[in-house]
Amino acid sequence: MDAHHHHHHDAEHAHEHSHEHIHESDHEHQHNHQHKVLEIEQDILQNNQMLAARNRGYFEAKNIFVLNLVSSPGSGKTSILERTLADLKDTISFYVIEGDQQTLNDANRIDAINIPVVQINTGKGCHLESDMVFNALKKLDPKNNSILMIENVGNLVCPSMFDLGESKRVVIISTTEGEDKPIKYPDMFYTSDICIINKIDLLPYVNCNINHIKKYALQVNPNLVFFEVSATKGTGMDDWYKWLVANK
């Protein structure tokens, strides 16, 4: 009887032990999954860095000045781009890559100014990547000594992580978006060279102090250069143009 009892106890112990083992392996699986996701993200970013270097080599060889325009949706990226192209196209050769999740609307607006443009639709993707830009360049075939404007997908998070091989990154924020955008989305302001504050014509009607935007932005990135403009009225655009011509 004792022997039987002893055997029964062993089996229970084994059952408990195997239950623990399953629990541990579940935990391990979860941990591995998170680890794999991180590894995949790192691979994507590293791969993008390599391709960005390839783009940069292409741009430098042809002396092409490249701007990566980033912003939230509705900040006026396309309006600033349209006005810049229309005002300067007689003196500078421009090319444009338009990034959007859907539609050809923005590319059609650029096409109407007679500027060579290639549209990249990213579908669910929330940013452009270097290989997309490289493929677009094959179609666009920009001339030496030109300016390439890349209008990124409207999003202040993901595009900050993806270098496209650009010469300068330009973040656009409008007076209607709230003064604290730079500290809410620090990576985008930290990785940008230029900050264009758009829609200054609306300042009398919105609760926005430009000095606050600048103060927050400079906390994140003390080297940012600012331009205050109204793309619709044309105010302040001349200073932006002077910078563009001087730096190209």
| Per-residue pLDDT tens digits for 195-245 | 999 999 999 999 999 999 999 999 999 999 999 999 999 999 999 999 999
Q: What is the spatial distance between Cα 71 and Cα 154, in angstroms, rounded to a whole number?
A: 5
Residue 9 counted as domain residue: no
Q: How far is CA 65 from CA 7, 11, 94, in A?
A: 80, 74, 10
pLDDT number for residue 57: 98
Tokens of 59: 């741009």
Sign of the Cα torsion 197, 202, 206, 212 reads positive
Label residues 109-136 b or e (16+ Cβ within 10 Å = b). bbeebebbbbbbebeeeebbbbbbbbeb
Question: By the 8 A CB rule, do 131 and 155 touch?
Answer: no
Which is nearest to 188 in space by CA: 171, 176, 173?
171
CATH code of the domain covering residue 141: 3.40.50.300
* 170 falls within a domain: yes
- The C-alpha atoms of residue 178 and residue 198 are separated, in whole angstroms, by 12
Give every CB contact of residue 74 below 8 A, 6+ residues apart in sequence. 154, 174
Count the Cβ atoms, other than its own, within 10 Å of residue 218: 15
Question: How many domains would you assign to the chain?
Answer: 1
The residues pairing with 172 across neighbouring beta strands, listed in sequence order, are 71, 196
Residue 11 inside a domain? The answer is no
Residue 38, pLDDT score: 74
Q: What is the pLDDT, as a whole number, of residue 211? A: 98
1 belongs to a structural domain: no
The CA distance from 140 to 162, in Å, is 21
Q: Residue 157 has which token pair?
A: 């998070």
The ranges of the chain with pLDDT < 70 are 1-31, 33
pLDDT at residue 40 in the model: 75
| In a domain? residue 193 | yes
Is 195 a domain residue?
yes
Q: Which domain holds residue 230?
A: 46-247
Q: CB-based contacts of 123: which residues, under 8 Å, 6+ apart?
A: 101, 102
What is the Cα–Cα distance from 47 to 102, expressed in whole angstroms? 25
Residue 129 lies inside a defined structural domain of this protein: yes
The per-residue pLDDT for 28 is: 57
Considering the entire predicted model, what is its pTM? 0.85
And the tokens for 108?
A: 């059609």
Whose CA is closest to 217, among 177, 248, 171, 176?
Answer: 171
Residue 27 lies in a domain: no
